[in-house]
Amino acid sequence: MIQLSRRTLFGASAAAAATLASRRVFAQVAAPAAASGPFTLPPLGYGFDANEPHIDAMTMMIHHDRHHAAYVANLNAAVKDQSQVAALPLQTILSKLGEMPETIRTVLRNSGGGHANHTMFWTVMGGKGGAPIGELAAAITRDFDGLDKLQAAFNRTGAGVFGSGWVFVTVTKDGKLALVARPNQDTPLMDGATVLFGNDVWEHAYYLKYQNRRPDYLAAWWNVLDWRAIGSRYAAAKAGTLTI
């Protein structure tokens, strides 16, 4: 039985809680991100089961503790003997990939992009879906003719990504929104753009629950969005302070 979320702990018996806590500690110790380096795996900020039933706890656990942790570990390994690169903020590395040492450029692109994409991904989830409010809602109406049309276009774009990749909504400093797709772990940050939110359409993001039905995953994902968090990202983007 999989019971790994912090939320579950509150309802568990003391013995079960101790078991869960030790599993959690073991997971942290065993994760590749425990390796030293400037980049760290951010905590989810909610339980692995917070996005149930739309995204299952096992997928969340593997995705965060293994996939994302591996990107962080590989990124740290790449910059181990590159102190000048290691000192840079991730968004700077990604927006200036062409200036990075050629020997590690591909790792920076794949693992640095993976670290940035997943860091963003966790922050926009863990919510209850619904609809945005305020300035963000107005911008979505202005630039996409409403949330329904944005969702339809976003899902179509995500379903159309061949192989692995991401679908994003980017935002300019004046608040203009745009829909873009990128292959692999590429991100609009590599073009100097700012990411408002995005969805991971790699099979590891949905295969346990949805198998080959990526369109079903794309449709269900909107139910776990945290529009308050995305609204905060929108305000930060307009203020020029949103980095990842």
How far apart, in Å, are the Cα atoms of 81 and each of 23, 38, 90, 92, 95?
Answer: 33, 12, 17, 18, 21
Inter-residue contact 87 to 38 (CB < 8 Å) = yes
Alpha carbon distance 116, 140 (integer Å)? 24
The minimum distance between CB 76 and Mn ion, in angstroms, equals 18
Which residue bears the tokens 């860091």?
A: 119
Other beta carbons less than 10 A from residue 14's beta carbon:
7
Of the candidate spans 154-162, 200-208, 216-224, 231-239, the one that interacts with Mn ion by CB under 5 A turns out to be 200-208
Paired with 194 in beta bridges are: 171
The minimum distance between CB 167 and Mn ion, in angstroms, equals 13
Binding mask 54-73 for Mn ion (x = CB under 5 A): --------------------
The minimum distance between CB 114 and Mn ion, in angstroms, equals 7
The minimum distance between CB 200 and Mn ion, in angstroms, equals 4
Q: Which is nearer to Mn ion, 109 or 238 (CB)?
A: 109
Instruction: Give yes or no for residue 200 binding Mn ion (CB under 5 A).
Output: yes
Alpha carbon distance 153, 198 (integer Å)? 13
Of the candidate spans 1-9, 33-41, 159-167, 198-206, the one that interacts with Mn ion by CB under 5 A turns out to be 198-206
Contact set for Mn ion, span 202-221 (CB under 5 A):
202
Of the candidate spans 15-23, 155-163, 192-200, 224-232, the one that interacts with Mn ion by CB under 5 A turns out to be 192-200
Beta strands in 61-207 (DSSP E): 165-171, 177-183, 194-200
Inter-residue contact 25 to 37 (CB < 8 Å) = no
Q: Which is nearer to Mn ion, 56 or 200 (CB)?
A: 200
Binding-site ranges for Mn ion (CB under 5 A) = 200, 202
